[in-house]
Chains A and B, each alone.
Chain A
């Protein structure tokens, strides 16, 4: 088996794609292992001393799949909010969102009745806008807090 310039370039590009998609100190090692495996497969297809054809190398790399997909198999699954906390997350959201909507509506009603509000008749669109802003901020804050908890605990369960 011999690799000509073209074939080694294809191989290099593939390995570079994997190296880019990996993180951590083990990545050189993983890339070398994959390279060794690809060479083993090429040798199997081309046992004599002839040159590897482009079709052969593309065939092998095609079987290996896209670099990013292959690299992803080496990393543990990561979550913004893992299944450990997901139930708690939905529970908190289900409490927080209605409370925020209720509080906003109440404040709008009181504002209108007492006349403290600067424009006495709030248009529907403005009310909806305020509601959306409030709900969005509340939900985003809850999500952020849970994401931080997830990050700190790294998937370990908190009793």
Chain B
């Protein structure tokens, strides 16, 4: 198979793999109140690549699912919308975090077994 074809497949699978875990990454940072661009920069600085066209729609979806509270804050130099997990969101995050840790352990075990 051609190299381009392989990297195309890898890229697709990578995106699929990340799709679910992005939520956990974003929610983890919203235990404290945070505005969109700061959140984006922080995640990228931590090594988690996320683009704006992923982050903002995701924030909207989390809000629609009533896991987030958000409000415009006008005491900043410019009005900015701040987001924070509400109690339900926190509970969901804790559950997802535990789920991720369990999954990570299992996958690691399976991969190492084959090696």
Residues of A within 8 A of B (CB): 26, 30, 32-34, 36-37, 39-41, 63-65, 69-70, 73-74
Chain B 29-57 interface mask (CB, 8 Å, partner A; 1/0): 00000011110100000000000111011
A37 touches B53 (CB 8 A): no
How many residues of chain B have a CB within 8 Å of chain A? Answer: 15
- Which residues of A lie under 8 Å from residue B81 when comparing CB positions? 32-33, 36
A36 touches B79 (CB 8 A): yes
Given A26-B60, A30-B60 in contact, is the A70-B80 Cβ separation under 8 Å? Answer: no
In the complex, which residue of chain A has the Cβ closest to the Cβ of B37?
Answer: A40
In the complex, which residue of chain A has the Cβ closest to the Cβ of B58?
Answer: A73
- Which residues of A lie under 8 Å from residue B40 when comparing CB positions? 37
CB distance from A110 to the nearest CB of B (A): 54
Asked if B78 is an interface residue, CB under 8 A from chain A, the answer is yes
- Which residues of B lie under 8 Å from residue A40 when comparing CB positions? 35-38, 78, 80
A69 touches B53 (CB 8 A): yes
Residues of B within 8 A of A (CB): 35-38, 40, 52-54, 56-57, 60, 78-81
- Which residues of A lie under 8 Å from residue B36 when comparing CB positions? 33, 36-37, 40
A74 touches B60 (CB 8 A): yes
With the chains together, A40 CA to B55 CA distance in Å?
15
With the chains together, A69 CA to B40 CA distance in Å?
19
Which one of A32, A33, A41, A64 lies within 8 Å of B53 (CB-CB)? A64
- Which residues of B lie under 8 Å from residue A74 when comparing CB positions? 56-57, 60
- Which residues of A lie under 8 Å from residue B56 when comparing CB positions? 30, 33-34, 37, 73-74
In the complex, which residue of chain A has the Cβ closest to the Cβ of B60?
Answer: A74
